[in-house]
Amino acid sequence: MATKINNTIRHTCLFLCTALVLFGCNQDQAIEPAKTTKTSNKNYNILYVMSDDHTASAIGAYQSRLAKLNPTPNIDQLASQGTLFENVFATNSICTPSRASILTGQYGQTNGVLDLNGTIPTEKQHLARLMGQAGFETAMIGKWHLREEPGAFDYYKVLPEQGLYFDPILRDKHKGAWPNNEVTIKGHSSDVVTDISIDWLKNRNSDKPFFLMHHFKAPHDMFEYAPRYEDFLKGVHIPEPSSLYTQTQFGSKATRGENDSMLWEIGTSISKRNPRRNMGIHMEIDPALSDKEYTHLAYQEYLRRYLRTVKGVDDNMGRLIDYLKQSGQYENTIIIYTSDQGMMLGEHDYIDKRWMYDESMRMPFIVRHPGKPSAPKMSDIVANNTDFAPFMLELAGSDTPDFMQGKSFATVLDNQPLTDWRKGTYYRYWMHRAHHDVPAHFGLRTKQYKLIFFYGINYDVDFQQTDKVYYGMDWSRKDGVIPAKTPTPVAWEFYDMEKDPDEMVNRYHHPEYQDIIKELKVELANQRKELNETDENYPHIQEVIAKHWDD
């Protein structure tokens, strides 16, 4: 993406930050308190704002094809005053696992959250607990999506499960025992969550600095925006990705089938390609239209609704910032803006996230630290969401505990080099063919290269053999195939991100890259071992890996 950035655009601040950790991690041992370090940072408030599925390419400061639409002026202004980290990636691009990694500083096999059914109980909500030990008043407001009570926070008011866009139900710590502490508030969720956060900031009576995790539901599908945005982008042509209509050298038999025989069923689409679930169906596009016209209209409506929902996030981000300024706290508050993962906006004719392709795994990450006026504007280092907790703990004056696998990259704000970083960030998507027909896979993303292994089976053997309904959705088809159970072909993909930032050409079998691929496989195997990601409990996956590692 860095190749697309126009550094002459006013207010665009690009900072590429990556902090990857090679810490081997054990399951939570006896939990020791974090050591604190005397630092002036300790007195700063920390406002952590996280949206849901807000891909970096839908933020103006990242200068993608959508930047000229000016979708996020408030977030862009924040970036112009701080540091924009470009190469930050999710370790599993789906809501619950991403949030679990952020709260624990750990990867999926260590924190136990592999899919949407995962939970993080109070005793494992490490970030909140350690922030409290560091002297902060803590609050969690908005989308939670981790099932169990956010009990490690001093205060919470959260959406149960996915939450509603309009007139949301929330669970309020002050309204009784979880989960019977629900209240309903009229309005759009982005407005409601912001109202709650501002009210909490206004009414708290502690002299401690605050640590507020403010989580928007938006712009998660199905993109229900407030009525006031109905005219935003009306009649405007939204630029289309170059890979929307053509993907001839992209992918592998794992993502396309032998001789493209599975194109119709792997990966949900904008176009008619996936007849079970495509955006044209969701957007109610006339199926009698030609394939190209159907795709065009589906994409335009998809993006229009998505960006209108994003606009609501950005406007409410502006409200939060305005309140901090009016209350005199802006210059004493570190503000972080991110999303729990990215989102495919028609690239390769895909929708949703889950994939290890950059539009899905890349997380926006913007930091304004008022005590770091000389913080850099650009960087190309690589970080992931297990690093968020260590990063914020260091900003709070605390060290990273040994049980966290992530590592702080806060020294970047002081223009100091990072040392002992991994060569790339590890990624793992476990939910084989659930919801959006994405095969299970893992891989490594370095600054220049990406290596992906699609092993294509579910980790739950019993589920593979017996289940027909998954997360409330019936996966049976007229031909009797149950996609969520069906293994897919095994294959590798390799992309040169410097030459091919849009991941248009799978170069896994190109002769000139074979030495690089061998090195990346060694690094990938090492990281899987050191990060407790070796599938020790899943011998059927280990068997596939062993059989196809040298393919």
Choice among 19-28, 147-156, 311-320, 354-363 with the minimum mean pLDDT? 19-28
State whether 88 and 180 are in the same domain: yes
372/464 same-domain check: no
Q: Which residue range(s) make up the domain with 68?
A: 38-232+300-422
Confirm whether 281 is domain-assigned: no
So what's the pLDDT on residue 483? 53
- Domain for residue 258, yes or no? yes
Mark whether 75 and 144 lie in a shared domain. yes
- For residue 459, give the nearest of 539, 525, 370, 372 by alpha carbon: 539
Mark which of 387, 422, 457 sits at the end of a domain.
422
- List, for residues 464-515, the tens digit of each pLDDT value: 433 344 333 444 444 444 555 678 999 999 999 999 999 999 999 999 999 9
- Between CA 341 and CA 108 the distance in angstroms is 15
* Residues whose CB is less than 8 angstroms from the CB of residue 306 and which lie 6 or more positions away in sequence, other chains included: 58, 219, 223, 343, 345
Domain boundary among 370, 398, 422: 422
Please tell me whether residues 349 and 333 are part of one structural domain: yes
Question: What CATH number corresponds to the domain at position 455?
Answer: 3.30.1120.10
Q: Hey, what are 314's tokens?
A: 């950005």
Q: Same structural domain for residues 435 and 465?
A: yes
State whether 257 and 365 are in the same domain.
no
pLDDT in tens, 215-232: 999 999 999 999 999 999
- Identify the CA nearest to 218 among candidates 189, 186, 195: 189
Task: Using the 3D structure, point to which of 358, 388, 422 is the last residue of a domain.
Answer: 422
Tokens of 400: 């990273």
Note the pTM of the prediction, 2 decimals: 0.90
The answer on 193 and 125 residing in a single domain is yes
Pairing of strands 88-89, 383-384: parallel
Task: Give the count of domains, the chain.
Answer: 2
Instruction: pLDDT band for 422, please (50, 70, 90 cuts).
Output: confident
Whether residue 413 sits in one domain with residue 314: yes
Q: Looking at the structure, do residues 454 and 394 belong to the same domain, yes or no?
A: no
